[in-house]
Amino acid sequence: MPTSSATTPQIIVAGFRALSDPIRIGVLELLRQREQCVCDLCDALEVSQSKLSFHLKTLKEAGLVHTRQEGRWIYYSLNLPQFAALEQYLADYYRLSQILPVRTCNNS
């Protein structure tokens, strides 16, 4: 996963965009349990392989999953360092909120 400051915003955007779809969230939930092949993911999510392929491509481009090929099947697993990068991004905002004063709007 690239970590230069020039690509960091792109990585963060791609990661959160990939997390914005219920099917992709379902894939990630299944991969939390173990590495899985496309056929197992299709069965568990009750979607066609062509539909799932689009979502898996999005997850892979965002760096959220790893792939490996075994025979004719592709197996997917989580890329935990990318999740850590997204978590760190959010944690930075949490730390910032602890040191900045809270502003209130006065709409009189």
Q: Is 77 inside a domain boundary?
A: yes
pLDDT number for residue 3 = 46
Q: How far apart are CA 91 and CA 13, in angstroms?
A: 16
The 10s digit of each residue's pLDDT in 42-61 is 999 999 999 999 999 999 99
Q: Does residue 94 have a pLDDT over 90?
A: no
For the chain, what is the domain count?
1
Q: Is 46 inside a domain boundary?
A: yes
Q: Is 23 inside a domain boundary?
A: yes
Q: Is 73 inside a domain boundary?
A: yes
Q: Is 18 inside a domain boundary?
A: yes
Average pLDDT over residues 54-79: 96
Phi, psi for 89 (deg, rounded to 5):
-60, -45
Q: What DSSP element (H or E) covers 64?
A: none
Q: With beta carbons less than 8 A apart as the criterion, state whether 15 and 85 touch.
A: yes
Domain of 82 in residue numbering reads as 8-88
Q: Is 15 inside a domain boundary?
A: yes
Q: Is 19 inside a domain boundary?
A: yes
CATH number, domain with residue 27: 1.10.10.10
pLDDT number for residue 92 = 82
The 10s digit of each residue's pLDDT in 25-37 is 999 999 999 999 9
Radius of gyration of the chain (CA): 18
Mean pLDDT of the residues in the chain: 87
Cα dist from 67 to 35, 62, 79, whole Å: 9, 13, 9
More confident residue, 5 or 89: 89
